[in-house]
Amino acid sequence: MKRIQLILLFTLSIFVTKQSTAQLILGPDTLCAENQLQLTTTVTNASTYYWGFCSAYLNNIPTGSSIAAGTGLSSPSSISMAKQGNNYFVFVVNTNAPRDIIRYDFGNSLSNVPLATNLGDFSNGVPVNAKGFELVNTGGNWYGFITGGSTAANSDIVRLDFGNSLTNIPTLVDLGNLGGLLLNPQDLFVFNEAGNWYAFTNNGFTGNLIRLDFGATITGVPAVVNLGNPGSLAFPTGLWPVFDGTNWHLFVVNRLSQKLSRLDFGTSLLNAAVDNDLGNPGGLFDAPRDISIIKDCGAYYGYVTNENSNTMTLLTFNGSISNIPVAADLGNFAGLSAPRYLTRFIRDRDNVFAFTSNNTSNSISRLEYNSCSASAPPTSTLQTPPPVTYSTPGLYNVYFASDEGLPTMQVDCKLIRVLPKPVIEINNDTLICQGDTILLVVNGPGLYYNLWDPVYNALPNYDTTSIFIYPREDYRYHVHLEFTAGGGCAYDSSVMVKVSRVVADAGVDRFVADGAYTVLGGPQISTGQEYSYLWLPFTYLDNPTAAHPTCTPLDVEMYIVTVTNDSTTCFAKDTVFVKTECTDIHLPNAFNPVSDLAVNRNFGLLNHNITKLEYFRIYNRWGQLIFETKDPNKKWDGTFNNIEVAPDNYVWMIDGLCNNGKRIKKQGTVLLVK
């Protein structure tokens, strides 16, 4: 039916059949998504190491695909799989004449599209209605055993001698009915114990268990021992052996009673069997045909083909193989069509495969447990791998192998539970005004520890869930959170605090001579379209909403400027003192009576604090007096006797009294232009 002889199986795929009880993988088994997991191994000085961090996990639902007709299949039933070196082969036997054997060459991966080769029927030597098919490697040579038949007359067992390679065309040796004890034999299991070769098969009609004793040479003619019906076998069709490290068990599916039997042999398969009727787990068996069991990651899983319903049943034994299994319906996930016999399950590093034959659709179905893509990195060949992270929550299987393909090969696995990232409650990125203080808070369900680091302008005790901060510029505040001890669920988060920096620079305090003006606002004042300005009071200012208004003071004044960022509403204020005093006479040095600007059309005092004039006189170049007044507010309009004078330089003389009592006498020239 399916199995490579157990000694070879232990060597090639220990993980499947005889996983080491030693713990080879060290490290945590629980963490949160996106956290780093560091694993190590107790294995040292191995020639090779392999880590698969997202390896196939058999608690998941398998996927499948059908290798359809056109490959020479004709009502296939018997099937077996083997690995030779780095290459995989599946052999299938047709039940329809001429009962050919089809070999599928998968190359170095069971996920490849196989090359089908028809090996023929060996001159009609393949048994009628072939069922059990076993491949064995011993002494460097390959052998195949096939059972079949439907009556006492045509029940038979044959041996295929491949020589040193499964790619050879084998020689068929007919072993016959072996004393007539074979009656519609169903399955086949070949094993070696204490240096001697044996095989189990089972008669469908009687339920009897038959043991074949080959002796020390597997090519010998076996003696036949009828072990009878241990008790609950009713048309048994599928056999599967399990060694739990101490005792042997043989699982049998019964097509007629639709039940599962477990035969317990103790420490030797040569002991008498103790029968256990396990019933129909979950009531899911429907004409069960075969069973295959795999031990993976410390747990046992069984698979049963249901010929009538075109489905497969998963049996989970939850710890010990002696437990009553829990059944689950896997449905038809791989194009099953009257599925017959199953190969063993084989782990190809991170993927697990098995095959079954479909009797009515002339196809075989590939059952796959594939590696996932949630880990980074997915694999490693280092003794100590780099830290691994998982992107999504779930239960993940880490597969480890050392000295692959050697007698010293060791394998182990470790289930990693990845929890969802906790909900982190933290301030949104925010904006504050320069000089303000804000409270930052971080929390989350089950928060174990947190630390703000580094911090900038924060009040003391900043390792709590909340801190007060007063930044003076844009700054990102980082916080480290741990939700479990040991850092297996730790995250870094941050808050960006932007600071709206508004500068109000009114300028330096200043003295302005009587009659002069000054421009307010210093060089640091914030400028741009997003800013608005207000100077108070409005007195003596030309534009109190400008960044730099002109001030023409008459006395001492304090101005307050408020600069506002209209987009953030942040504002700043500053003050400036402006002082004025009558210490000199201020007159323009030119004027234009026909200027577009009214202020430039007359010539007169700019002072505001001259309280009395003794005289204000203007002379032309010939010394003729053309203008005179004692009124400080009166100005010359550029005429004499109401007649416009010519453009020229004119001499002025003034004698006045300031409001502070100071008397000022002064003269100068003014240019009249047109």
Model pLDDT, residue 21: 54
For residue 46, being part of any structural domain is answered with: no
Within a domain: residue 663?
Answer: yes
Q: Place 12 in a pLDDT band, splitting at 50, 70 and 90.
A: very low
Q: Is pLDDT at 13 greater than 70 in this prediction?
A: no
pLDDT in tens, 51-90: 999 999 888 889 999 997 678 899 999 999 999 999 999 9
Q: What share of the chain is helix, strand, coil (3-state, %, to 5)?
A: 5, 50, 50
Are residues 548 and 629 located together in one domain of the fold?
A: no
CA distance 626 to 396: 109
The pLDDT tens digits of the residues spanning 613-657 come to 999 999 999 999 999 999 999 999 999 999 999 999 999 999 999
Average pLDDT across the chain, whole number: 92
Average pLDDT, integer, range 460-481:
86
Examine the domain organization and report whether 303 and 283 are in the same domain.
yes
Which of 581, 615, 644 corresponds to the end of one domain? 581
Go through 349-367 and write b for each residue having 16 or more CB atoms within 10 A of its CB, e for each that does not.
bbbbbbbbbbbebbbbbbb
* pLDDT at 14 > cutoff 50: no
pLDDT digits (tens, 9 = 90+) for 238-286: 999 999 889 999 999 999 999 999 999 999 999 999 999 999 999 999 9
Could you tell me if 565 and 624 lie in one domain? no
CA dihedral 256, 260, 263, 264 (to 10 degrees): -170
Q: What value does the mean pLDDT take over residues 221-230?
A: 95
Count Cα neighbours of 509 within 13 Å in the Cβ-side half-sphere: 6
491 and 516 fall within a common domain: no
Structure tokens at 386: 């780099």
- Tell me the three state secondary structure of residue 316: strand
Q: Which domain holds residue 626?
A: 590-672
Predicted confidence (pLDDT) per residue in 491-508, tens digit: 999 999 999 999 999 999
How far apart are alpha carbons 331 and 327 in whole angstroms?
A: 12
Q: Does residue 352 sit within a domain?
A: no
Confidence of residue 487 (pLDDT cuts 50, 70, 90): confident
Model's pTM, two decimal places? 0.69
Q: How many domains does the chain have?
A: 4
Vertex 164: Cα angle to 158 and 165 (nearest 5): 85
Is the residue at 343 inside a domain?
A: no
pLDDT in tens, 562-620: 999 999 999 999 999 999 988 888 899 999 999 998 889 999 998 888 999 999 999 99
Question: Same structural domain for residues 159 and 195?
Answer: yes
Please state whether beta strands 36-37 and 388-390 pair in parallel, antiparallel, or not at all (unpaired). Answer: antiparallel
**Cβ(90)–Cβ(121) below 8 Å:** no
Q: Is residue 391 part of a domain?
A: no
- Phi first, then psi, for residue 441 (nearest 5°) are -130, 135
Type of residue at 366: R
| Residues with Cβ within 8 Å of residue 283, at least 6 apart in sequence | none
The answer to whether position 415 is within a domain reads no
Asked whether residue 88 falls in the same domain as residue 178, the answer is: yes
| Span 159-185, pLDDT tens digits | 999 999 999 999 999 999 998 999 999
Helix (H) or strand (E) holding 200: strand 196-203
Residues 522 and 470 in one domain: no
What does the pLDDT read at residue 409? 85
What's the Cα-to-Cα distance from 259 to each of 27, 340, 523, rounded to whole Å? Answer: 42, 16, 95
